[in-house]
Amino acid sequence: MNKLLPERLVKSIYQELLPRLQIESVNPRNPIQVSYLPQPWRLLGKGNYAAVVYHPDYAECVVKIYAPGRPGFEEEVEVYRRLGFHPAFSECLYAKDSFLILKRLYGTTLYDCMHLGLPIPQQVIRDIDKALDYARSRGLHPHDVHGRNVMMHQSRGLVVDISDFLHPEACSKWNDLKKAYYWLYRPVLRSLRLRVPYSTLNMLRKSYRLASSFKTSCYQLLLRLTCFK
Ligand SMILES: Nc1ncnc2c1ncn2[C@@H]1O[C@H](COP(=O)(O)OP(=O)(O)OP(=O)(O)O)[C@@H](O)[C@H]1O
Ligand SMILES: [Mg+2]
């Protein structure tokens, strides 16, 4: 897993980045907070568990650092080990001490595409479907595939976060996103080229979560009722 990397990059991570970086995950359901990022490092993205940064001298690599107390680092390393190479995914170049150095994927998350009003062609959805099939063929379970974990680059689809692909439980996020794409986005929203404010996207994200947990609770209740019959 630890491939040939510029020694200076690894040195800079240990000597400049990690000792001074301040990140915190206040609530595992919302993106982490970055209160200090030392120069010259730049923030590229935030997930609910980790921050993703890069050094301008090594812009082809990103460093994904898990927030203190958030699990998932070892699992993500294992997912990359099993995944092998596929053009729609990143690659893990180095992993140690709760951070991974990953190949940088260029593109815009579908979440940000909605914010920027960028049209999302069907090819993007097809590419992601194929990439997820590839992951399945490697014994993985696509999980937590939502709008901030997939990207569009030059009208092609990419999968940027595979950290939960060891979880065997069913996850309907990608199928739900596709339904919204084919039933609402393509027939109605695409031609309007709406720029959806982050506040609205955030509200939709939270409503979706509420609806999903309600659906799960109803399903569990139904299961219990049928078991006790
Ligand atoms: N290899 C990469 N190349 C470019 N950008 C990346 C890469 N990996 C992650 N990012 C950016 O950083 C963001 C956060 O990374 P990631 O989704 O892996 O974090 P996470 O905490 O595991 O997310 P989640 O909340 O979905 O669990 C992504 O949405 C994406 O914008
Ligand atoms: Mg993510």
Domain boundaries, the chain: 7-103, 108-202
Judge if pTM exceeds 0.85. yes
Ligand nearest to the CA of 143: 1
- Centre of ligand 2 to C-alpha 151, Å, is 11
Overall residue count recorded for the chain in this entry: 229
- Centre of ligand 1 to C-alpha 158, Å, is 12
- For ligand 1, atom 12, the nearest C-alpha belongs to 45
- Compute how many other C-beta atoms are within 10 angstroms of the C-beta atom of residue 97: 10
Return the pLDDT at 219: 62
Return the pLDDT at 5: 81
Which residue is associated with the tokens 């915190």? 24
Q: Do domains 7-103 and 108-202 have the same CATH topology?
A: no
Return the pLDDT at 161: 97
The listed CATH number (1.10.510.10, 3.40.190.10, 3.40.30.10, 3.50.50.60) that belongs to domain 108-202: 1.10.510.10
- For ligand 1, atom 19, the nearest C-alpha belongs to 47
- Centre of ligand 2 to C-alpha 173, Å, is 13
Sign of the CA dihedral with 175 first, then 180, 183, and 186 last: negative
Q: pLDDT truncated to tens, each residue of the chain (229 aa)? A: 556 688 999 999 999 999 999 999 999 989 999 999 999 999 999 999 999 999 999 999 999 999 999 999 999 999 999 999 999 999 999 999 999 999 999 999 999 999 999 999 999 999 999 999 999 999 999 999 999 999 999 999 999 999 999 999 999 999 999 999 999 999 999 999 889 999 999 999 999 888 877 766 776 666 666 665 5
Cβ distance 52 to 44 under 8 Å?
yes
Residues 6 or more apart whose CB falls under 8 angstroms from that of 18 comprise 65, 97, 99
Residues with a CB atom less than 6 Å from ligand 1: 44-50, 52, 62, 64, 90, 102, 104-105, 109, 144, 148-149, 160-161, 163
- Centre of ligand 1 to C-alpha 185, Å, is 24
Residue 177 backbone phi and psi in degrees, to 5: -65, -40
- Centre of ligand 2 to C-alpha 63, Å, is 14
Pick the closest to residue 147 from 182, 108, 119 (CA basis): 108
Ligand nearest to the CA of 54: 1
- The tokens for 157 are 């689809």
Ligand nearest to the CA of 45: 1
For the domain bounded by 7-103, which CATH number is listed?
3.30.200
DSSP 209: H
Ligand 2 is an ion; its neighbours by CB within 5 Å are 47, 149, 161
Return the pLDDT at 218: 72
